[in-house]
Amino acid sequence: MAGKLEGKTAMVTGGARGIGRAVCEGYALEGARVAVADVDVPEAEATARAIGPAAFAVRLDVTRQESIDEAISAIVARAGGLDVLVNNAAVFDLAPVVEITRESFDRVFAVNVKGLFFTLQAGARQMIRQGRGGKIINFASQAGRRGEPLVLVYCASKAAVISITQSAGLALIKDRINVNGISPGVVDTPMWDQVDALFARYEHLPIGEKKRLVGLGVPYGRMGLPEDHVGAAVFLASSDSDYVVAQTLNVDGGQWMS
């Protein structure tokens, strides 16, 4: 039985670890050829090797336009085109409002907003050239649905992702390119160790306590896992979602309803 993504080529940014890696693995199981695109090339190569012949690594720094263009060109040269783009690469920081630095603000927006948009733009241009439509999936966050006292910059960046998804979705559906998003809640990935350490510093908590508390606060009863997001990512990449346009799907164990 053919997989839902049989014959498709997908690019997953930030694909070497966490949710990105889980999506790469899930896409390969559904029959896709998967480009593991990451700034950490050795880890991307290790992930691609672990997945097998369906995957290959591509260097990608979303803060550099030439890197975005080179990555897409490399994928097209190797796999013959691009059918699915998953914008997953992101960074995190937090601080009290009166302590936020320009450097932190610029770094978060450079990756999470500017990098995501210009990767989306380059992917859309390639899909339009091919003339067969495509799927673009942007990873937002529950943080983009609300404000948080210590997380202003990250929250704002993910709110921008939701807005970009809406506008790009409306603009590109005429080319049969579906742009949609996924909004995770709290997810047990290596990034959350960084998040936990930052909360421990500013909220005067023991290491691990914030992570424990947020897990208890999820209606489902635990933090999310990377693999919890694969089903939604496969759905939005497949023909099952052809009539879904400009939406951001909450995959968060019931933390947010919209």
pLDDT at 1: 74
With CA atoms as reference, report the closest residue to 247 among 185, 173, 174, 186. Answer: 173
Residue with tokens 């960074």: 91
Cβ atoms of 163 and 170 closer than 8 Å = no
- Residue environment code for 195-221, b if the CB has 16+ CB neighbours within 10 A, otherwise e: bbebbbeeeebeeeebbeebbeebeee
Longest dimension (CA), the chain: 57
State pLDDT tens for residues 2-54. Answer: 899 999 999 999 999 999 999 999 999 999 999 999 999 999 999 999 999 99
Report which of residues 191 and 219 the model is more confident about: 219
- Among 13, 247, 23, which Cα is nearest to 123's? 13
Dist. CA 31–CA 120, nearest whole Å: 23
Q: How far apart are the first and last CA of the chain?
A: 35
Q: Which residues are marked as active site? A: 154
* Confidence bin at 76 (pLDDT 50/70/90): very high
Separation between Cα atoms, residue 155 and residue 160, nearest integer Å: 9
pLDDT digits (tens, 9 = 90+) for 177-203: 999 999 999 999 988 888 899 999 999
Check pLDDT > 80 for residue 157. Answer: yes
The pTM assigned to this predicted structure is 0.97
Distance of CA 101 to the CA centre of its chain: 25
Give CA 197 to chain center in angstroms: 22
pLDDT at 73: 98
- Find the mean pLDDT for residues 203-228: 95
pLDDT of 191 reads 85
In this predicted structure, the answer to whether residue 136 has a pLDDT above a threshold of 80 is yes
| pLDDT confidence of residue 194 | 87
- pLDDT at position 119: 99
DSSP-derived pairing of the beta strands 33-38 and 134-139: unpaired
If you search the block for the tokens 């996924």, which residue do you land on? 182
Mean pLDDT for the stretch of residues 119-146: 98
Residue with tokens 């439509």: 133
Determine the pLDDT at residue 193.
87
**What's the pLDDT score for residue 258?**
85
CB 126 within 8 A of CB 81: yes
Residue 135's DSSP bridge partners are 84, 178
CA distance 123 to 131: 13
